[in-house]
Amino acid sequence: MANILIIDDDQSTQKTLYTILRHEGHQIVCTENAQQAMEKLEELKFDLVIVDIHLPDMQQNEMLQQIHEKNQRVATILITATPEIKAVINGIRAGVGDYLTKPIKKEALLRSISRTIKQKSLQDLNKQLAEENLLYQDHLESIVIKKNSSLSSFLRRNIELQDQERSTLGHRVYEYFCQPLKNLQLAWQELAQSSGNAEETAVCKQMLSNALDAARSISCNLNPMALKESGISRSVISNAELIFRNRTINYTINLENTDSRFSEQWGLHLYRILEEIMQNCIRHSDASSFALSDQQSTEDLLIITARDNGKGILEETIEHGSRGMGLLVVQERTRMIEGQLEIDSSAGTRFTLTFPFQERKME
């Protein structure tokens, strides 16, 4: 049963409504004007207010506004002796659930009350669910932010440890293999000059040369020591030759604006980023062409673009962030050197890297 407030200065209508609704088991409070109604709304909680359009002490719109200010969850029904379309429309816009014309019939009144209270309950439930949904979304976003922050910290630490380990291994490969092989190659050349078997000498020389090249390749891949001496462009070109070797991919590298501009650590991150992008082209794109270029768009921005004509990355992979570890590492390395990464896979795949452009020589 409902708690109902009746606001009407017509005693006959009050009595009729009171009799019908009390007989149905509702709790009823009757008032003759707006002032009395406001006092009752302050004192008690009502499920429904039945209010006459014309009250002696307050206009309809103001009355409805104050009712809902006192109790946002209360349902309202307008009653009127003469239907006034404008008043009814204004009432509906103000949140009124229904309206009835006098004389009020029992069946119409009970149907209207039942429908209006149910409708208001559904509206309140919908509002509550919407508010809870917003809170839930905010909660999820905070979780995602924390998880992304944790993942970013993990990736950054992993990248730093990986670079340290690569550097150590690169130096060791050079020290334990490259230099001894180079010395052996020189010793063999001296020995070959006094040897009479030219064919065997040539074969052994080629084997030594191949072994030295392989050791150098491994060393450079672990620790691109040529970055400092050769610059980013030549180092990336050398790496591209190794990556695209024996591949049917036409590639071009043009990094004129990148060389000798940045610190060695910055250059190492960029080298690894471009390496992973080229590896992605090999592993996933089935491309036949790859182009890497840079440009200085403004005085303080360097833009590097890598593009292939392969099958591209799935759109949902880009939109929803379900990227493989390689792309996550590219993304994190880009952040580590204060850059931004954009991926467009509408036609092939295009990586756009944007960095603050600062004149910093390789240390």
Cβ-based burial of 262 (10 A; exposed 0-12, middle 13-18, buried ≥19): buried
In a domain, 126, yes or no: no
Cα gap 357→303, rounded to integer Å: 9
In a domain, 99, yes or no: yes
CATH number of the domain encompassing residue 34: 3.40.50.2300
Cα gap 113→100, rounded to integer Å: 10
In a domain, 121, yes or no: no
Regarding whether 163 and 144 lie in a shared domain, the answer is yes
* pLDDT tens track for 263-317: 777 888 888 899 889 988 887 778 899 999 988 766 678 899 999 998 876 554 4
Identify the band that residue 120 occupies on the pLDDT scale cut at 50, 70 and 90: confident
Per-residue pLDDT at 17 exceeds 50:
yes
Regarding whether 351 and 245 lie in a shared domain, the answer is yes
Regarding whether 149 and 250 lie in a shared domain, the answer is no
Q: Measure Cα distances from 4 to 65, 240, 277, 329 in Å.
A: 18, 81, 70, 65
Q: Among the three residues 206, 223, 240, which one is the final residue of a domain in this structure? A: 223
* pLDDT tens track for 246-272: 788 899 998 877 765 567 778 888 888
CATH number of the domain encompassing residue 352: 3.30.565.10
* DSSP string over 277-289: HHHHIIIII--SE
pTM of the model: 0.48
φ, ψ at 295 (rounded to 5°): -155, 150
* pLDDT tens track for 72-84: 888 899 888 877 7
* pLDDT tens track for 169-222: 666 666 666 666 666 667 666 666 665 566 656 666 666 666 666 665 665 666
In a domain, 264, yes or no: yes
C-beta of residue 99 within 8 angstroms of C-beta of residue 91: yes
Mean of pLDDT values over 336-345? 88
Cα gap 309→281, rounded to integer Å: 9
C-beta of residue 270 within 8 angstroms of C-beta of residue 232: yes
